[in-house]
Amino acid sequence: MKYERIRKIVLEATQEAVAEGLVKGTSGNIALRDDDDDVVAITPSGISYTGMTAGDIAIVDLNGKWLDGPYKPSSEVPMHTAVLRARPDVKATVHTHAMFATIMAMGENPELRPITPPQCEFTPVGIVPFTMPGSNDVADLVVKALGEKGRAVLIKNHGMFCCGKNMKAAMHAATYIEELALTTYYSKLLGVYEPMPEEADLAMKALIAADQAV
Ligand SMILES: [Zn+2]
């Protein structure tokens, strides 16, 4: 099988996302850029994750052109390839419609602030307005909101988009963003919302940047 390594990593991440409840049905999509070739492995469009095999994962180029695989790539491929083109530091991208991230992207919610120390790695989390899924518009908005260093954004009436230097990092971002959205949701509901003080957030970010966080 061509591109077996990146296809397997995407498949495993997809299974993990299902197990963690980050994706349901055929929603969400996950992509990984190959280190050597300028190709991207991405989940196929409209295919159930149950029973999916590595060979089912689509291969596209950095402009989203379908190169290999029995099923066409996710319709949201423009969002993934736009971020991979814009950010050479990013190798993996994860988009899900996870419930609490989707809830926190609505209304007048400001950007998410960290509630626990590990969440500091992934904030600030911007929110981009709704545009049609799969469009170049949403891809442009996500790239702009992520900026040079961003790890995650919420998309109104849609879900979240996360990225990282490898699949583990991108999946970590998705898991912590859903946790951050969930803790923000419940603490606001109970009237006890109290994000980490800004000073502590900045101190944690410095530790994480220096790779000294425990
Ligand atoms: Zn979507």
The radius of gyration computed from the CA coordinates of the chain, to the nearest angstrom, equals 17
Q: Tell me the CA–centroid distance for residue 155 and ligand 1, in Å.
A: 9
**What's the pLDDT score for residue 5?**
96
CB atoms within 10 A of CB 81: 23
β-bridge pairing 126-128 and 152-155 = parallel
Active site residues: 76
Going along the chain from its start, the domains and CATH numbers come out as 4-209 (3.40.225.10)
Q: Tell me the CA–centroid distance for residue 57 and ligand 1, in Å.
A: 17
pTM of the predicted model, to two decimals?
A: 0.94
Q: Tell me the CA–centroid distance for residue 98 and ligand 1, in Å.
A: 10
> For 83-142, how does the pLDDT look when each residue is reduced to its tens digit (9 = 90+)?
999 999 999 999 999 999 999 999 876 778 999 999 999 999 989 988 888 888 899 999
The 8 Å CB, 24+ separation contacts for 57-66 are 57/6, 57/7, 57/10, 57/11, 59/2, 59/3, 59/7, 62/33, 62/38
Which stretches does DSSP call E strand in 82-185?
92-96, 126-128, 152-155, 159-164
Cα 124 to Cα 79: distance, rounded to the nearest angstrom: 20
> For 182-195, how does the pLDDT look when each residue is reduced to its tens digit (9 = 90+)?
999 999 999 999 99
**What's the pLDDT score for residue 193?**
95
Q: Tell me the CA–centroid distance for residue 179 and ligand 1, in Å.
A: 19
> Which structure tokens are listed for 199?
């000073």
